[in-house]
Structure 1
């Protein structure tokens, strides 16, 4: 596939209209980046040596989309729909992304949460065709060689996992590859990152999941997880190999690492490499954006809110830290802001000198001077929060009594049940609206259907990381950000919150509708480019004078390109096929 042109007049960059495939014949039909199935014209079929390899009918892309949707609806469960869509992506990427972008609200729950969780649990059963790289701990010392086996030379975005904490499902080992694959699909579908520049990677260091280790369909190493020095050296080698192979400007997104490694790896590499952790920073940006939008509904400034977190893992800590930054930016001192943030883990309220112990690492910052409390219900009664946030994959944690108490304490309680997949949510949207008598401001991590309460229809907001990480990735690539600071995610949160309209809020949303997410990602990318150049984070010069035009010109197009050259281009064309 031909790349975008480059020019010193950056805002005038436009996609190339004629692609020059490097392969022909049956190989062309087997390349998902180039294949158009029955979308090839008669001229293309004759010139590219595929005439007769396809049925004689020629279909427009719109007709192909119709056929895909007929197949999509033929399946009676979401996992089969996931398998079907992944097979389409493996065959014809432009058609896959055309279908997703035109039906994003319908497709998002299939190619991402919650269905991707089901797919990971059954990944050995549904595995069809290799996508991405699998690098095992047994390859230590040869990681660079394996990276060189990947055919693309211009990789700009890598999503990598070791599969230890897949969504709220736990240690799935090599089955967790569905997450990097899904995330990078959203990079392209929602923000327009070129798919040829994306690389999903599984770092297989084993799994401690006994059930998976005995599964005859398991596709990973059948051993306990490697830890300690060998693990650290393996990750170091991987990061060094990425830079050696693809350059210092390659984005590496850490995904679904265990809590003990997630923070350690982020702190270790954030100043030396172009990295971020979506579970910590992406989740934080989306949650804080939802809080900012919620405050427009409740009418209370940030300083007058008190937050209680159910869970103190990487998601909760990430949200709390970004929330702390937002509070300080609003004029509060750090000590004042910390007194507004309370966290509950498996041993109860996190307080200083807690008899039950467990206050270590990242939790220490949020330990309060307060008597110990064991149960979340009692925490809510005593602390009287304006907002409760769940991100610990504890289904049902927001009980009926907690929701009733939140509505008693507040006119408009903020209830964020952010755990994924849907089966792990702290409460359902229906429970939240019912037990707060329709007065809560609700958001969830996975999608819920609209809820009708006393003749009013509420559209629950979905606090999906997809509102943020694709835009952060595209902005990083386009303006060459080498160090992704926390301020980038706070800016993302502010940009997202600003896009929530009055109409959205009247419908119960604290995020824009998913149907608008491509435009949301584009506008956020433009905002982040402005911020990056203003703060000196961008290294790509000259700075575009019209960043909106620049971003839109660089985004991936789902429209088929013509493979038929003009006559004057024929010699060049022939030399490439």
Structure 2
């Protein structure tokens, strides 16, 4: 507890979510903090507090209602909130993050109740350092920042996108033990081009079309410089920016400050993990795999580039490695004959025939795996899946778009149309599937497997920046946690109930990478694993 917090007493304790323990305060603590008479007389055990909270959450019939109940618990008692998330990760991760967070963001202005995080608007340009100074945190280890332009597969939600940084940082704490008092969700509000929000009287963001160009980048830079002046070692995670801005911001800052883009690099590491798991089943090495991506934006080219980096790391020439990944965008298969291609697509423009439909592209490329990251629901239809099954004994089918309504196919369809031979992963959760006397347990290619551990390792080692090698290390470490029993059930990832231990292992691997490559700003402890584990926050 900081010196500032040690001075807090009485009712001020009960309205401070970091300090409040509600009816869990002991008799001694109630006397010491001036709380006697301000709480019901009974002292509740941690188990009783959790049971009471679970009953309240269960009384809400729908996911959004459960989210709102959890949000109220967090606003009152952050310790209890994270105890719930850590003890019931499988149950509550889909509530605090995907898929429920999509609905939360769409309705954010209508359900807003508790102030949390930092809102930087275009009207604040020239004063951002003052806004950062207003933040109550003495220290911040991790910032997640968005501008709301491309929230999940839902598009431009403007200021309403704040639900994403809030959800991500909840997972940083629940999955990797980043102290919640040392995190900061941030939204940079430069307007929105979504008419429904501009016309909504309850919308809480700027009512103007989006700012673009130099003015946009100047405001983002003003924020980054102000944040780093106050917290020089902070990790900044870019989240759900539009394609152009996402790539440009990564280009500007990637090798200069401690930062990464989760949509580009975190998604890539998780997808590469799924690939590593799949090749264990197919018994064919990565060098014999070819992938066709439905989509050519941040996620697609991020995954493709990391697969290429992995192939190069295994000894393949980069020009040859690039041929193992192909893109299909809104105009069709990306080929060398196409003109006016965006910079991120150009390395994947190969000598291929023109294909206008994805099925035609599958037949032309004959991939071992297809990866959906374009938020085109049901794009992996029966014809596509059957073609993949005809080409491959064990076709790799990754339907990674979320929320669930945007998935390229569901698990049941993937298994049914491939006669149970698909190696399937998704961006949103799907229930187990019974088929031909077998039970398949599909698991999410969820970024929450990777980004919390990446952040943990980088923050622990006080890394200067995050090179590609860190993301390869994260993917390999995560893949090592997938058991043979998991693979037998059709699971390419471990259970989310194991995510805290998984994050610790990834954190150790990332910190080790930082120490080995001269990127750390502190000394390596003798027992790195024990030190990382001790560094991780646990609810009291």
CA–CA distance in structure 1, aligned partners of residues 71 and 159 of structure 2: 18
1:432 aligns with 2:414: yes
CA–CA distance in structure 1, aligned partners of residues 62 and 519 of structure 2: 45
Secondary structure, counterpart of 1:361 in structure 2: coil
Pairwise CA distance, 1:20: 6.7
Match of 1:282 in 2: 266
Pairwise CA distance, 1:358: 4.9
Pairwise CA distance, 1:380: 0.8
Pairwise CA distance, 1:169: 0.3
Match of 2:289 in 1: 305
CA–CA distance in structure 2, aligned partners of residues 414 and 224 of structure 1: 41
Of 514, 523, 539, the residue aligned with 2:496 is 514
Of 300, 307, 310, the residue aligned with 1:316 is 300
Does structure 2 conserve the Cα–Cα contact (< 8 Å) formed by 1:430 and 1:451?
Answer: yes
Q: What residue ranges of structure 1 are gaps of 5+ in the alignment?
A: 4-18, 560-577
1:554 aligns with 2:535: yes
Alignment of 1:41-120 (within 5 A): 41-120=26-105
1:538 aligns with 2:490: no
Q: Deviations over 1:246-279 (max 9, x none)?
A: 11x1111000000010000001011221110000
Match of 2:148 in 1: 163
Does structure 1 conserve the Cα–Cα contact (< 8 Å) formed by 2:258 and 2:466?
Answer: yes
Match of 1:339 in 2: 323
Of 403, 416, 420, the residue aligned with 1:421 is 403
Alignment of 1:19-418 (within 5 A): 21-247=6-232, 249-354=233-338, 357-418=339-400
Does structure 1 conserve the Cα–Cα contact (< 8 Å) formed by 2:352 and 2:364?
Answer: no
Secondary structure, counterpart of 2:328 in structure 1: strand
CA–CA distance in structure 1, aligned partners of residues 332 and 400 of structure 2: 19
Q: Deviations over 1:374-418 (max 9, x none)?
A: 110011112111100000111011011000111111110000000
CA–CA distance in structure 1, aligned partners of residues 412 and 200 of structure 2: 37
CA–CA distance in structure 1, aligned partners of residues 5 and 151 of structure 2: 40
CA–CA distance in structure 1, aligned partners of residues 34 and 486 of structure 2: 52
Pairwise CA distance, 1:236: 1.4
Pairwise CA distance, 1:286: 0.2
In the alignment of these two chains, the number of paired residues is: 540
Pairwise CA distance, 1:2: 4.6
1:450 aligns with 2:435: no
Pairwise CA distance, 1:371: 2.1
Pairwise CA distance, 1:71: 0.9
CA–CA distance in structure 1, aligned partners of residues 391 and 7 of structure 2: 66
Does structure 2 conserve the Cα–Cα contact (< 8 Å) formed by 1:347 and 1:358?
Answer: no
Secondary structure, counterpart of 1:216 in structure 2: coil
Of 528, 538, 544, the residue aligned with 2:510 is 528
Q: Deviations over 1:81-131 (max 9, x none)?
A: 001101111111110010111000000000000000010011011100110
Q: Deviations over 1:486-513 (max 9, x none)?
A: 1111110011111111011011111110
Does structure 1 conserve the Cα–Cα contact (< 8 Å) formed by 2:353 and 2:364?
Answer: no
CA–CA distance in structure 1, aligned partners of residues 171 and 250 of structure 2: 22
Q: Deviations over 1:271-328 (max 9, x none)?
A: 2211100000000000001101110011111111111000000000100000000011
Secondary structure, counterpart of 1:160 in structure 2: strand
Does structure 1 conserve the Cα–Cα contact (< 8 Å) formed by 2:379 and 2:408?
Answer: yes
CA–CA distance in structure 1, aligned partners of residues 78 and 45 of structure 2: 15
CA–CA distance in structure 2, aligned partners of residues 2 and 412 of structure 1: 56
Pairwise CA distance, 1:151: 0.7
Scaled by the length of structure 2, the TM-score of the pair is 0.99
Pairwise CA distance, 1:516: 0.5
CA–CA distance in structure 1, aligned partners of residues 251 and 475 of structure 2: 21
RMSD: 1.1
Moved over 3 A (4+): none
Does structure 2 conserve the Cα–Cα contact (< 8 Å) formed by 1:120 and 1:176?
Answer: yes
CA–CA distance in structure 2, aligned partners of residues 20 and 202 of structure 1: 27
Secondary structure, counterpart of 2:144 in structure 1: strand
Q: Deviations over 1:500-530 (max 9, x none)?
A: 1101101111111011001100111112222
Pairwise CA distance, 1:476: 1.0
Does structure 2 conserve the Cα–Cα contact (< 8 Å) formed by 1:413 and 1:441?
Answer: yes
Of 450, 463, 470, the residue aligned with 2:452 is 470
CA–CA distance in structure 1, aligned partners of residues 255 and 423 of structure 2: 37
Q: Deviations over 1:327-378 (max 9, x none)?
A: 1111211122111111100000000122xx4522110010011221111001
CA–CA distance in structure 1, aligned partners of residues 158 and 26 of structure 2: 44
Q: What residue ranges of structure 2 are gaps of 5+ in the alignment?
A: none
Match of 1:572 in 2: none
CA–CA distance in structure 2, aligned partners of residues 517 and 243 of structure 1: 30
Does structure 2 conserve the Cα–Cα contact (< 8 Å) formed by 1:450 and 1:460?
Answer: yes
CA–CA distance in structure 2, aligned partners of residues 218 and 362 of structure 1: 34
Scaled by the length of structure 1, the TM-score of the pair is 0.92
CA–CA distance in structure 2, aligned partners of residues 21 and 398 of structure 1: 57
Pairwise CA distance, 1:21: 3.1
CA–CA distance in structure 1, aligned partners of residues 134 and 266 of structure 2: 30
